[in-house]
A and B are shown apart, each in its own frame.
Chain A
Amino acid sequence: GAVVSQHPSWVICKSGTSVKIECRSLDFQATTMFWYRQFPKQSLMLMATSNEGSKATYEQGVEKDKFLINHASLTLSTLTVTSAHPEDSSFYICSARVYPEAFFGQGTRLTVV
């Protein structure tokens, strides 16, 4: 199957700083990638859809100025959590589809202290 690679796997940052998470499709091109957030013992909640060469589409309730998404190439999408706060601590996971299947990155455990 297709491979999606996400880095870093975990990161600890101080409150008020920014953190960038990378998501790469290693063996296929992805014009669209998806970013999810998963709080402990909860489901994967779609945050935004990342579109190569255009603006991301954010789900209702997700602050686009806080969660900056850049999809500059057909194999790379980045999610930057700006001015992180402890409530942003979560498991972030990206995904891309090779229809109909979805392939997921390893996920990033973000802890804001």
Chain B
Amino acid sequence: GENVEQHPSTLSVQEGDSAVIKCTYSDSASNYFPWYKQELGKRPQLIIDIRSNVGEKKDQRIAVTLNKTAKHFSLHITETQPEDSAVYFCAASNQAGTALIFGKGTTLSVSS
């Protein structure tokens, strides 16, 4: 089955800096790669996603890149703000009826 690795587990940046979180996946059939932000005790909140027919997607300060050959995808947050501090998860899936498999998460801390 699918296995998703996520790095780093913790990331500390200064306000205004960029943050990059990387994930690799094992199943070459995976075709959907979402990123979630999760607050303690809450459901994951989708912040951006990418499908396998696209190499990059951007939404304001957030972007995701996908390298299918290398089987890795990355989340890029520019001009970080203290409110970006949270736990971020990447995930992958390969079919409409299958579950998302999550990475282990990254705790991002943005200090002002």
Contacts and interface: CB of A to CB of B under 8 A. Distances in A.
Nearest to B4: A43
A25 interface: no
B44 A101 contact: no
Interface in B32-73: 32, 34, 41-44, 46, 49, 51
A61 interface: no
A44 B102 contact: yes
B32 A100 contact: yes
Q: Give the dominant DSSP class at A's interface.
A: strand
Interface string B98-112: 111111110000000
Given A44-B89, A105-B43, A106-B43, A100 B99 contact: no
B104 A42 contact: yes
Contacts of B103: 43
B43 A104 contact: yes
A91 B41 contact: yes
Interface string A57-73: 00000000000000000
Contact of B34 (A49, A91, A101, A105): A101
A2 B97 CA distance: 16
Given A43-B102, A44-B102, A97 B97 contact: yes
